[in-house]
C-alpha cells in the first residue's frame, strides 16, 4: 500500500506538466482550483484534478482529471 498526498497545484508545478505525459494543456487551468496527487515523500506528480465549485447547486464540477 502506498501513502499518498493530495496537495494544491503550485505555480512552479505548471512548468513540469507536459501535454505528452498528462494529456491536457494544464496551463489552461492555471486560474482554476487544481490539485496534484503525489506519493508521500516524493515530488513526482502521479495525477491531477481541476475543479470548479458551484455553491448554488451544492456541487463540485470536475473540469479535468488525469493519472
DSSP 2-58: --EEEEEPPGGGGGG--HHHHSS-GGGGTTSEEEEEEETT---EEEEEEEEEEGGGT
Per-residue exposure over 12-35, b if at least 16 CB sit within 10 Å of its own CB, e if not: ebeeebeeeebeeebeebeeeebe
Average confidence score pLDDT of the chain: 92
pLDDT > 90? residue 19: no
Given pLDDT bands bounded at 50, 70 and 90, which one contains residue 55? very high
**What is the C-alpha separation between 60 and 43, in angstroms, rounded?**
27
Amino acid at each position: 500500500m502506498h501513502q499518498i498526498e493530495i496537495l494544491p497545484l503550485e505555480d512552479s508545478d505548471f512548468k513540469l506538466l507536459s501535454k505528452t505525459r498528462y494529456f491536457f494543456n494544464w496551463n489552461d487551468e492555471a486560474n482554476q482550483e487544481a490539485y496534484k496527487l503525489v506519493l508521500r515523500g516524493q515530488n513526482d506528480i502521479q495525477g491531477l484534478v481541476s475543479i470548479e465549485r458551484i455553491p448554488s447547486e451544492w456541487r463540485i464540477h470536475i473540469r479535468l482529471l488525469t493519472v
